[in-house]
Structure 1
Amino acid sequence: MVSFDHRDPGTPEADWARCGALHRAPEVDLTGVDRVVVFAAHPDDETLGAGGTVHRLADAGADVRVVVATLGENSHPDSPTHTPERLAALRHEELAAAVHTLTSTDTAPEYLELPDGDLTEDELSEPVARHLEWLEQGEQPLVIVTWEEDGHTDHEVLARTVVAAAGAWGVRCLQYPVWFWHWGSPTRLPRGLVRVPLDDAARAAKRSALAHHVTQVQPLSDRRGDEVLLGPHVLEHFDRSVEFFVLGTPDQRTVFDRVHTASADPWAVDTSWYEQRKRDVLLACLPREHYGSVLDLGCSTGALTVELARRARSVTAVDASDVALSAARTRLERKGVPNVELVSAVLPRDWDEDWSPRELIVVSEMGYFCSPEQWRELLRRCVAALADGGHLVLCHWRHPIADWPLDGADVHREARRTPGLRGVLSHRETDFVIEVFAPVPAGDT
């Protein structure tokens, strides 16, 4: 939880405007999105963080629902003129007017009326699941929610609940920062940042919608405790020609079961020259001819697993998709490869301590299917599991990865700065990068 003062000017908008990383953030593809649920912790979150995007989607014909968890009754706890009940009633009306402005429809927001400042995942789980069930009826559904590291407890609890549920349903999820623009800085940008450009109509609709949140953008009175919360120094962050979001991380098992169900060979591992050559290059990069125990993380249908097994005493091959593992089992039986154990696990959550120690750990085109936090944790697990003299091999695509927070550059950059690893070999081509790491010997720094 980040502590901040609404009255403090925070990070000036001019500093954000000069931030090159913001300008380089990839654009979100909203083509075909037909159903959207926008979750807000408090009335005005939806307008501040995603108002322009909501207008774009509604204007393109998408069916948009806005769900607000609390009525923000504690926005002015020291007000001498407005009770929490009065504030809740006013903010209820303000949100309805703002959503109407953004969507040009009479669809009313849904008010969960949960306690402001005291949200819990337990009380949010049922309404979140109910709205995601409606969302799933769309052809191209999208969920939008506050950011899980925004520095406000309600924003973060709501985001964690929604992101986890959306991931399990396999629904694309965008998280919008609000208070980060106040307390954050260009050197602390979140990974997986993407942008949605706003045209003049979207910006105008957003400004009009914000003006409806009178209790937040104007003082309640001239008395102490009734000061404006969203002053000009805050609002200028939200008057940009673009809105920024952090990609939520989909659930690996849900996504890859669907991928492997839709196609027997979704990555063309048996027919693609890229895939065949990449495997050959990876195997050629291994510093040793033979390894004892090998861990193959993200094995998919087992094409690389078969080759690793020929240079190992035993291999544990892990994947989140049971459908992929079934195909891998068939491949291993057909090839007569007996020294492989197949394990169903979502990493790093299902890491098994019995996998340690390992002489070789291979992570091929799997790292960017983690969130930044998950990838850091998985790297820590790999470092701890490496035997003395062992090797960690990473191999990843070098081009953008759609709808996931990380790309290959992020994955390998994090590995290079992970304590306990030293680089042994690096091979880069236009399409992929392979790096081999070894554990830092005890006593070395």
Structure 2
Amino acid sequence: MRLLVSSALFILSLTLASAQDTLSLTRKQADSLFFKNNLLVLAERFRIDAGQAQVLQAGLRDNPTVSLELSAYNNQRRQVLDAGRQGEKIISVQQLLYTAGKRNKRVALAAESARLTEYELLDLLRALRFELRSRFYAVYFQQQTVERYNQQIAVIQTTVNAYEREFARNNVSLRELLRLKALLFQLNNDRAEILFQLADDQRALRTLLTVEQPIRPLVRDDALTRYRIPELPDDTLRQIALRNRPDLKAAESLKRQAQLNYTLQRALATPDLRVGGTYDQAGSYIQNYVGLNVQMDVPVFNRNQGAIRAARSQISYQTQLQQQRALQIGNEVITALQKVREVERMVQSVEGQFTQQFQQLNQGVVTSFQKGNISLLEFVDLVETYNESVRQLNRLKAGRVGAYEELNYLIGDDLFD
């Protein structure tokens, strides 16, 4: 327990020591910094460039094949590499020509694959932004809780010091002094737990923003009041999610890729042509022979039957996955709306008059205790109740914002900007 308290005090001292390096940000500033700095987002953009390059590559035509054959040795003239006017050389040129629109089908498939990469980037942005905002508000409310604990601990520490002086004068009992010290010890332990969680959230937040300084969220009241239950009907919100969700678009893209691959595999059953020309200086039935040749595989045994069947099955598979994803998204939105309504009801039930009464009670507790109007046990009980209420209320407020941001995440849009 001593180690726990010491660690908490060490973390707090580091926080205070680096206060001049703290980066204060509003949520919109954090969003902007995230889009600018996040390394995962920057890395995904290179994948998009690679996908566009694959589209370019799929549209390129095959290079012609050129072959040259020379007479290695003329035994009549006893001449090596006899390729002059009296010698022999053969030059051939061949070009592969795709049939059944294979080239265009490959370009369409590569373009859809590149589009899938864009959807994956949007889905990554959606997930990271949800984590960013959740951590942002978690840090804000944790810092609010820590500040309240710091104030309480300072007051209790002053009271303990006063009791120690009175104990030395035999004016208070050891039991009363130890009870106050136990209260102070418990408050320090509770603050340590919050500081440990705050340190984890700070680490994640700094990683998302790609910065090294501690983050101090700046949150105005109007930023929190923007989070309110949407006026749109539930079915409308579900339809918005089905239109916006990049993971559903990715599933639809995989289905289209399966369909495009099926058409490509059917086209591959049609043989391609190889067209070329040959020049033979002296090896044919006439001198300086020029010929035209056309080659084509005869589809007797291999008509690409297996690949066509596999591609057809892949369409059914991706269709089922896409339908399952759409059903899951609809259920996720309805569940998120239920969570929002429940957490809003809980916050509304404790905010306002309840929090004001607790704040007023806390302000008068120490004074009443010092004047002897309440007993030590009542004082300790009220302090513990107040601090636990502050802790739970801030956790509830953070959970409220998290529930709304989860709704944003599941709908794929920002409803509360």
Q: TM-score range by the shorter chain?
A: under 0.3
Structure having the larger proportion of residues in helix: 2
Greater RCO (Cα-Cα under 8 Å, separation 6 or more): 2
Q: Which has the larger radius of gyration?
A: 2
Structure having the larger proportion of residues in strand: 1
**TM, length-normalised to structure 2:** 0.24
